[in-house]
Structure 1
């Protein structure tokens, strides 16, 4: 090995050693989702397929008690017309299957289906969970980062002795209060996002962290609400997939979109 090769290897070794000693802040972020409450509206192909399955099920199904009763009473009515059958007066006064069917059809025609568009949809209330009931909603909170406010998932620094999951659970309580009931999906993070701090905020004299590594944990909303009045949280909103890009940075959105289920 000549002198030039030794110099290059020494340079590479010193560079890798310097990188390995670089400090990073460790953070946990919670990707809290509210699952759809309603099934999505069917498109034309899905409606045709649904009708086909219903027709197949009808053809292969056995007769219900109502259908058997209807056929029996129809036969009895024909026999009565031909005076081939005698019935008691009490039997003739009972509600027939046809009467029951007519009453059921009349009640169905009076029934009005509830609209999929809620009052929260009409008001575009981004803090209300009653909006977009057929879509996934993701919780974003407004947080201060250096000298500006940004929208991001609830996130915070890891404390000594905490696992990353414990940090995520604590951060969610601190940011959103104790009234939220959620379920975390396992102990392992579902993604990671790394970024460096601006040079103006990094101390040159101290060997402090040069950036942060954010570990994402997925959780499902069960019940409760975000208590932003009692805590220091200034703003929050529940957004659908198509609304995230307008609030998040491109790089941040690209990282979290990798573990979000595509709704289309």
Structure 2
């Protein structure tokens, strides 16, 4: 029995032999996908709001009364007994002298009105300061650099070519020490396995010049913990500029094929409005079809 591996090798599980099924050579790169995680909870979209209202109404209709609601009912009944002139117990007078549930609720509602929530949008959002981490607080931001790729300057993830002696993780650790010298930024790389793989084939001219079919870029994930990157003399040779961008913003500056690899590797931050409307239309149609089917069976 034979098993084909990703690298194109064949393993004979009985004879324990390995050999390469393809003579093509690929340049191997390691890229760093550095992410600043969301700081605040994003606003709910239409589908999430509909689901939230549905579950809230269900829980309200099925749940038992809370202690506060029970106290509200008892306070109301006690007030009716006192105002009607009927015979009341001394306990009713004692309880009436205490703070009622409605007074308790009014007091905290007044405190709630005084509470000022911090704005969801910051000054850096208004000025589109892409070098700042204090923007798009409800989205994840990815770190992109502008560096020389071939003969042109392009926006991309930080990357490094791997020699035969280094593993992916070793190459990424060395890259981060060069990108952010003097501990200007703290991050945590997640494991040794790549988040995604991007394959790029060279043109015919570059294949002869470089002696390789193309490049395979193994993307490793890392979380930003604290600090801000700075342009210093030791890292200017690696990149000329940098930006913190959302996945959707990065679509404008990186190759579409590379963007699709990143897009598939991340949880959706925001669902486009047309997708939400299409999903709701499908749900509505299915609901109507089930009603018609139930009516037909009866």
- CA RMSD in angstroms, aligned pairs only: 3.1
Q: Deviations over 1:208-239 (max 9, x none)?
A: 64465243224142411343234414311111
Distance 1:102 1:258 in 2: 49
Q: 1:219 is matched with which residue: 218, 221, 243?
A: 221
Deviations 1:32-73 (A, max 9, x none): 223333333233443233222111111222222212222223
- Give the match for residue 245 of structure 2: 239
Q: Measured at CA, do residues 234 and 88 of structure 1 come closer, stay the same or move farther in structure 2, by a change above 3 Å?
A: same
5+ residue gaps, structure 1, are 1-16
In the superposition, relative to structure 1, how do residues 249 and 52 fare at CA in structure 2: closer, same or farther (>3 Å)? closer
- Asked if 1:127 is matched to 2:131, the reply is yes
1:76 aligned residue: 78
Task: Measure the CA separation in 2 of the matches of 1:130 and 1:109.
Answer: 27
Distance 1:99 1:189, change over 3 A: closer
The separation in 1 between residues aligned to 2:124 and 2:133, in whole angstroms, is 8
Question: How far is the alpha carbon of 1:156 from its aligned partner?
Answer: 0.8
Within the candidate set 195, 198, 202, 1:192 is matched to: 198
Unaligned runs of 5+ in 2: 1-19, 272-298
- Map 1:143-222; keep pairs closer than 5 Å: 143-177=147-181, 178=183, 179-188=185-194, 190-196=196-202, 199=205, 209-210=211-212, 213-222=215-224
Which residue, 33, 36, 41 being the options, matches 1:34?
36
Secondary structure at the counterpart of residue 126 of structure 1: coil
Structure 1 position 47 matched with structure 2 position 52: no
How far residue 151 of structure 1 moved from its aligned partner, in angstroms, is 1.1
Q: Partner of 1:224: helix, strand, or coil?
A: strand
Deviation at 1:107, TM superposition (A): 2.1
Aligned-residue offset at 1:155: 0.4
How much has 1:197 moved relative to structure 2?
Answer: 7.4
TM-score, normalization: structure 1?
0.76
Task: Give the number of aligned pairs.
Answer: 242
User: Is the aligned partner of 1:228 residue 2:234?
Assistant: no
Q: 1:8: which partner in 2?
A: none
Q: 1: CA distance between counterparts of 2:206 and 2:54?
A: 65
Q: Which has the larger radius of gyration?
A: 1
C-alpha distance in structure 2 between counterparts of 1:201 and 1:132, whole Å: 41
**CA deviation vs aligned residue, 1:83-136 (integer Å, no higher than 9, x gap):** 422249775443221210111222223333332212221121111122112223
Tell me the equivalent position of 2:103: 99
Question: Residue 57 of structure 1: SS of its match in structure 2?
Answer: helix
Bigger relative contact order (CA 8 A; separation at least 6) = 1
